[in-house]
Amino acid sequence: MGRCHSPVSHFGQIILVVLIGLAFPTSAKEAPQPTLESVMASLARSGGVEARFRESRQLTILSEPIESAGMLYFAPPDSLARHVEEPGESRIIVRADRVSFQDETGTQTLELGSSEVARAMVGNVMVLMRGDLDALRKDYEIRFDVADGLWNLDLEPRDRIVKQMIERLRVTGSEGQLIRMETVETSGDITRTEFLDVKVGFDYSDSSRDEIFYVRDGGTKGTSVASDRPAR
């Protein structure tokens, strides 16, 4: 008998990762009138990325939104990290087909293949970062428009299960750089993320990769791993 993973952790982790992924900035290459293709091409050229984020999560059951802030990192082709600095410290690390979540209660690791939602959405995050428009279109209905000098990417999931959770995603950017992202869930909950101090073209050293893209040694929970850092 296999282990029953909490759909809570699966869905939640992956969706959030998607949100993070969508937040990657593009290179600040000037384009008089951006098109979907030119934005995706910019994303493909963006290389390593570092950005500060601020997030507001408005839940229907809460009187006040939950605020958080921290750093986002991306190292091509398939490493992604979200470090929350306040309130409290936590990390989400995506490397290839594994996702690790770490907070003060421990570390939990799962494979993307464990969930259709996870595979579809995180896979698409990577697709987006690589600027693979065809693959993105396979999983999302895409609407692209430009208004007041900003471009907007509206993504509506095609997958039946993902669709049950997420109504739509809206990513806004300017001249090849992400500014904000909004996720509207079918429950009415809305998450808004703003990106600040975006730096692109990062080439992470081995030591900085070790620091950023691996969960720290520490406590575990569930079937978690103490550390996913490879032996050197």
Partner 1 sequence: MSDFALRWMTLLACAGFALYGLARLELTNSITHFMPSENDVELVEISLQLVDSPLSHRMVISIGGGPERNRVAAELADVLRDHPEVDWVENGFDEDSMRGIFDLYFDRRIYLASESPSVAFPAFIDDEGLDRAAQRLRARLARPDSMLGARIAPLDPLGLFDRIVERIRSTQPLETGGSGGFSTPDGEFAIILLGLASSPFDFAKQVVLLDDIDREFERLSKIANPTDKHGSELTMERSGVNHVAVASEKNVKREVNFISLASISIVTMLFLLVFRSLRHLFIAVLTPIAGFVVALAVAMSTSTQMHGITLAFGFVLLGVAIDYPIHLMNHHALSPAGTTARQSVARIRSSLLSSGITTSFAFLALSMSDFPGLREMGLFAAIGVPVSLAMTILCLPAFLGGARAPSHIQRRMSRGFEALIAWLESRFGIAVALPICFAVIAAAGIPSTRWEDDPSELMAANPETLEESNRVRSRVADFDPGRFVVGLAADREGALILNDEIHARLGRAIEAGDIEAVMSMHSFIWSESLQRKNLEAFRADPTLAMRLDTVYSRAGFRSGSFDGFVDAVAEPGVDPLTPEDLEDSPLARVMDSLVPLGERWAVITYLRGVNSGDAIRERLIGLENAHYIDQGEIVGEVYQGFRESTVRMLVVGSAVVFLVLMIRYRHFVRGLFAFLPPAMAALSTFGLFGLLGISVNVVSAVSLLVVLGMGVDYGVFTVDSARQPERLGATFSSLLVSCLTSIFVFGVLSFSGQSALRSLGLTVGIGTTFALLLSPSIHVFARRFERRRIEPV
Position 103 contacts partner 1 (CB under 8 A)? yes
CB of 204 to partner 1, least distance (A): 22
Q: In what order do the strands lie in the sheet with 79-86?
A: 106-111, 98-103, 90-95, 79-86, 66-75, 48-58, 190-202, 177-185, 166-174, 150-157, 140-147
Selection from 96, 150, 161 nearest residue 125 by Cα = 96
What character string, x for contact with partner 1 (CB under 8 A) and - otherwise, covers 16-55?
x---------------------------------------
- Quote the CA–CA distance of 62 and 75 in Å, as a whole number: 35
Q: How many CB atoms lie within 10 A of CB 33?
A: 7
CB of 203 to partner 1, least distance (A): 27
Size of residue set near partner 1 by CB under 8 A: 51
User: 39, 80, 112, 136: which one contacts partner 1 (CB under 8 A)?
Assistant: 112
CB of 5 to partner 1, least distance (A): 6
Which residue ranges make up the site for partner 1 (CB under 8 A)?
A: 1-13, 15-16, 57, 59-64, 66, 68, 82, 84, 87-88, 90, 92, 97-98, 101, 103, 109-117, 161, 165, 185, 187, 189, 222-223, 225
